[in-house]
Amino acid sequence: MADGTNVDGSEANSGEGTSNDGSGEGTHWTETLNDDLKGNEALKEIKDINSLAGNYIKLQEGKPVVPESIEGYELDVPEGIKTNDEEIKAFKEKALELGLTADQLKGLADINFQNVLNQTENYNNFIETTKTETEKALKTDWGEGYDGNCEVAEQALTKFFPEEVCSIIRQTGLHVHKDFVAGMYEIGKHFKGDSFDVGGKGESGGKTTGDVFYDNPTSK
């Protein structure tokens, strides 16, 4: 085969008249591309095909790697965070759906876990502060009867509210508020002699729940 001839007998392109460096001699390398690509502004800054290939390789090397399944994610749940396997699984499944890398999920999870810990710490501080203030105020009001009155208030809470409601009350911190404790005591003391047997014959005098809660006797 003679120099300058392709295997099919046609004349080979020696490259003369074509500029791969954009110097203006001949045509720019993008002229060999399809019509819908050759005029793309993003390609004008690329010197030649070698530069294009180099940029592509760098892009691929730095491309985030998304796990093929949720098993590719690892989460370190810190002490003090209440969660379960189902919640963790759902968290990972959503990350996979969004195309997050393992590092991206871990970073987001760490932020979320820290926020939960901060909220828990703030809540605990609020409860302790309110509890201290309530204890100080009620000891001043009740004196030596403080411990017994608090017990009556607690008994009234569990007597008149179902466990689900008691749980909500404690979660909000209302159970350590001075006025709430004093209010529950005022309710409970009416039934103290009956061991909280509503409608009995003891100190409550046969009062109903409506009589105690709303000061609106159902019968007179």
Q: What per-residue confidence (pLDDT) applies to 12?
A: 41
Q: What per-residue confidence (pLDDT) applies to 194?
A: 53
**Under 8 Å CB-to-CB from 218, ≥6 apart: which residues?**
208, 210, 211
Strand partners, 144: none
Percent pLDDT > 90 in the chain is 51
> Hey, where are the domains in the chain?
18-61, 70-189
Q: What per-residue confidence (pLDDT) applies to 130?
A: 94
Q: What per-residue confidence (pLDDT) applies to 28?
A: 77
Q: Which helix (H) or strand (E) holds 28?
A: strand 27-28
- Alpha carbon 112 to its chain centroid, in Å, reads 5
Helices 85-98 and 102-142 pack at an angle, to 10 degrees, of 140
- Rounded-to-integer distance, Cα 85 and Cα 107, Å: 19
Considering the entire predicted model, what is its pTM?
0.56
Q: Indicate the pLDDT class of residue 63, thresholds 50, 70 and 90.
A: confident
> How many CA within 13 A on the CB side of residue 159?
22
Q: Are 214 and 190 a contacting pair, CB within 8 Å?
A: no
- Rounded-to-integer distance, Cα 164 and Cα 161, Å: 8
Percent pLDDT > 70 in the chain is 75
Q: Indicate the pLDDT class of residue 205, thresholds 50, 70 and 90.
A: very low
Q: What per-residue confidence (pLDDT) applies to 123?
A: 92
Within 10 angstroms of residue 176's Cβ, the number of other Cβ atoms is: 20
Selection from 100, 105, 102, 93 nearest residue 72 by Cα: 102
Among 30-34, 95-99, 154-158, 172-176, the minimum mean pLDDT is found in 30-34
Average pLDDT over residues 15-30: 56
